[in-house]
């Protein structure tokens, strides 16, 4: 137990936790995006999808697990950011071969907090606010929010931040987990870019579709 605590207290241990929780959240985002795409089929299709989820007895457990993932990921991000950046070894960066600085990598400290604010807004918009109503139409709530100019700007800008964050985070996670052999480097980078493009197009297309077809 003491060795495990020491591992979590170390920079590499915290990076491992960040990598595992980050990849898990990426999987969640892909599933969440697939569900949101039912909006293109109309309000009824989206509401049927939402009802199917809410009728699942495992939903509270899934939401609890998702909450833990977010909290742990954010907590360890804060702990890592608090560490002196100069403690990172240049040898570690160069030996993995994916340590080159990019706009995405140098703005992680910005995109992370912005996405946290967006997460709070998103949960309030479509999770908490509906609990305050006796009756609600979730699909119409989404449509109304994304057709409003303020909602459109918030969500499209936040999706852009998701893309910027993911562009670096995906390959960084595999780097941390030690999967950085030159043989796999291109595969990891291209897979990360593909997933990022899918998320941005999938999530981002919805507000544009709703706003401009109002």
HEC secondary structure over 109-162: HHHHHHHHHHHHHHHHHHHHHHHCCCCCCHHHHHHHHHHCHHHHHHHHHHHHHH
pLDDT given at position 179: 80
Q: Which two tokens stand for residue 59?
A: 């939903």
3-state SS, residue 97: coil
List per-residue pLDDT tens for the chain, 214 residues long. 688 888 888 889 999 999 999 999 999 999 999 999 999 999 999 999 999 999 999 999 999 999 999 999 999 999 888 764 545 544 444 344 455 678 888 888 899 999 999 999 999 999 899 888 888 999 999 999 999 999 999 999 999 999 999 999 998 999 899 886 788 888 999 999 999 999 999 999 999 999 998 6
Neighbours of 165 (CB within 10 A): 20
Neighbours of 166 (CB within 10 A): 24
pLDDT given at position 184: 83
pLDDT given at position 86: 45
pLDDT given at position 183: 82
Residue with tokens 């009728």: 55
CATH architecture observed for domain 10-84+103-213: Up-down Bundle (1.20)
pLDDT given at position 92: 40
CA 71 remoteness from chain centre? 12
pLDDT given at position 202: 97
- pLDDT tens column, 115-130: 999 999 999 999 899 8
Rounded Cα distance, 164 and 193, in Å: 10
Reference 145, options 112, 176, 122, 119; nearest CA is: 122
pLDDT given at position 95: 41
Q: Where are the domains of the chain?
A: 10-84+103-213
């Amino acid at each position: 137990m003491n060795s495990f605590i020491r591992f979590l207290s170390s920079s590499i241990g915290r990076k491992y936790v960040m990598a595992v929780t980050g990849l898990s959240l990426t999987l969640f985002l892909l599933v969440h995006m697939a569900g949101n795409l039912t909006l293109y089929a109309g309000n009824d299709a989206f509401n049927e999808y939402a009802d199917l989820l809410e009728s699942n007895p495992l939903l509270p457990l899934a939401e609890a697990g998702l909450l833990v993932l977010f909290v742990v990921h954010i907590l360890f991000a804060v702990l890592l950011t608090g560490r002196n950046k100069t403690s990172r070894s240049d040898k570690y960066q160069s030996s993995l071969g994916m340590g080159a600085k990019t706009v995405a990598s140098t703005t992680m400290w910005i995109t992370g907090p912005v996405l946290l604010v967006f997460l709070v807004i998103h949960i309030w918009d479509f999770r908490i606010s509906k609990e305050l109503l006796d009756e609600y139409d979730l699909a119409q709530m989404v449509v109304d929010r994304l057709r409003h100019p303020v909602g459109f700007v918030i969500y499209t800008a936040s999706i852009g931040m998701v893309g910027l964050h993911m562009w670096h985070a995906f390959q960084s996670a595999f780097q941390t987990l030690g999967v950085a052999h030159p043989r796999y480097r291109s595969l990891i980078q291209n897979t990360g870019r593909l997933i990022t493009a899918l998320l941005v197009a999938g999530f981002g297309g919805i507000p544009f579709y709703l706003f401009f077809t109002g």
